[in-house]
Amino acid sequence: MENNQNFEQQVNQFRYLKEQRDVFQGQFEIVNASLGNLFNTKRTLDSLLEGVNENDEILIPIGGLASIKATIKDTKNVLVSVNQDTVIEKTVEEAIEFLNKLIEQHNNQLKFLKERIFALDMNLQGMNQMLQNRMSQQ
């Protein structure tokens, strides 16, 4: 009876760790997608420094697969969202510096999540092996 309770606790712990791993994996995917957006934004800002001129025509994505044509009025300043409700004007250089800090934060977060996922994977492998051994003994 006690062995069955112990086995059940181990199975529940395995499920819990698996759920935790799935949560971390989901967070990893979200942060990684956000990092991709940051790199695209930085690449766009870099191109502003490299020779886009006022009155040049550009395409602005407006969602999905649609874009509109627009004319650049100011190549020295951009509007940057610093949180959900706040947009501030920064020079292109300041905006790139801001993005670099965000990229660094994202990379640190990805590193942390990778380490957690790896540790959980190792625990899950060990528990899986142990549970399979117990099941084969019964």
Whole-number Å distance between alpha carbons of 3 and 7:
6
Specify the higher pLDDT residue, 6 or 137: 6
The answer to whether the beta carbons of residues 101 and 82 sit under 8 Å apart is: no
pTM of the model: 0.81
For 51-94, the three-class secondary structure string (H helix, E strand, C coil) is CCCCCCEEEEEEECCEEEEEECCCCCEEEEEEECCEEEEEEHHH
Domain boundaries, the chain: 26-137
| The CATH classification of domain 26-137, taken from the options 3.20.20.20, 3.30.450.20, 1.10.3720.10, 1.10.287.370 | 1.10.287.370
Over residues 29-46, the pLDDT tens digits come to: 999 999 999 999 999 898
pLDDT of 3 above 80? no
Specify the higher pLDDT residue, 130 or 27: 27
Mean pLDDT of 71-99: 92
